[in-house]
Amino acid sequence: MPDIDLRVTPLRELNKMLHSIGPGSNERHWLVANPGGLHAIAAGVNAPVTIEIDGHVGYYCAGMNTQATVIVRGSAGVGVAENMMSGVVHVLGDASQAAGATGHGGLLRIDGNASSRCGISMKGIDIVVGGAVGHMSAFMAQAGNLVVFGDAGEALGDSIYEARLFVRGAVKSLGADCIEKPMRDVHKQALHDVLSRAGIEGQIDPGEFKRYGSARRLYHFNVDHAGAY
């Protein structure tokens, strides 16, 4: 089990090691100590390994993650798991702006709060936030699920395409073309499936959530809607 202390090993060395994990490698569980808010820790990993980071991380931690499970025992800076393709990123603390931005797949789980623009332009990722999300979350979201146990800030889902947003708490305001939609059984099932993937199914009744999504009025430019752009 590689045990890396970032006060000793330069960050570039760590990322180089993580990028060169070959198929069938026995080094499947990595421990990273003293992250000290450094940027791009474990970004660009493409291997089915687990990376545990003990402390707060800076920007773009686990960005572009593919296959790996990255656990942050602290809070994360801007753009955690941005453009994630697959795998799991689990932040035990809070996340800053643009968590899971443009994520294509995989699961981002944040136990605390996420700041503004969580899931901006998400493209298929599942994001599960234990606390609240800040303003303009799911801005231009295209696919995937954003599940929020707490409240959502202003302009949730502004200019949203087809992502599904489930919020249990209060929504301060909805962005342009984002509306509340009925929570039918099929949606409760879909939410249950997301919670299963996050390993927390059965803890909370999906019926407590409200569903939000696109009204599909902004798909094509229409001069009559100019005021809404």
User: What residues make contact with another protein under the rule CB under 8 A?
Assistant: 36-39, 55-56, 58-59, 75, 77-78, 93-94, 96-97, 115-116, 135
Please give the single-letter amino acid code of residue 109: R
Q: List residues bridging with 128 in a β-sheet.
A: 109, 147
Whole-number minimum distance, CB 150 to another protein, in Å? 14
Place of tokens 């960005």: 63
- In the bound state with another protein, the residue whose beta carbon lies nearer, of 154 and 193, is 154
Secondary structure of 177-227 in HEC code, one letter for each residue: CEEEECCCHHHHHHHHHHHHHCCCCCCCCHHHCEEEEECCCCCCCCHHHHH
Q: Are 95 and 111 in contact (CB under 8 A)?
A: no
Q: For the chain, how far is it from start to end, CA to CA, in angstroms?
A: 52
> Measured from the CB of residue 141, what is the shortest distance to another protein in angstroms?
18
| One-character DSSP codes across 7-41 | TTS-HHHHHHHHHTPPTT-S--EEEEE--TT-SST
**Phi and psi at residue 40, in whole multiples of 5°?**
60, 35
Q: Which two tokens stand for residue 178?
A: 């984002």
Looking at the Cβ atoms of 69 and 97, the one nearer to another protein is 97
Which is closer to another protein, CB of 135 or CB of 211? 135
**Closest to another protein by CB, 36 or 199:** 36
Q: Which is nearer to another protein, 65 or 115 (CB)?
A: 115
Minimum separation from the CB atom of position 124 to another protein (A): 25
In angstroms, give the least distance from the CB of 93 to another protein.
8
Closest CB 56 distance from another protein, rounded Å: 5
Convert 15-44 to b/e letters by CB count within 10 Å (16 or more is b).
beebeebeeeeeeeebebbebeebbbbbbb
Q: What minimum distance in Å lies between the beta carbon of 213 and another protein?
A: 24
- Residue 34 or 66: the one with the smaller Cβ distance to another protein is 34
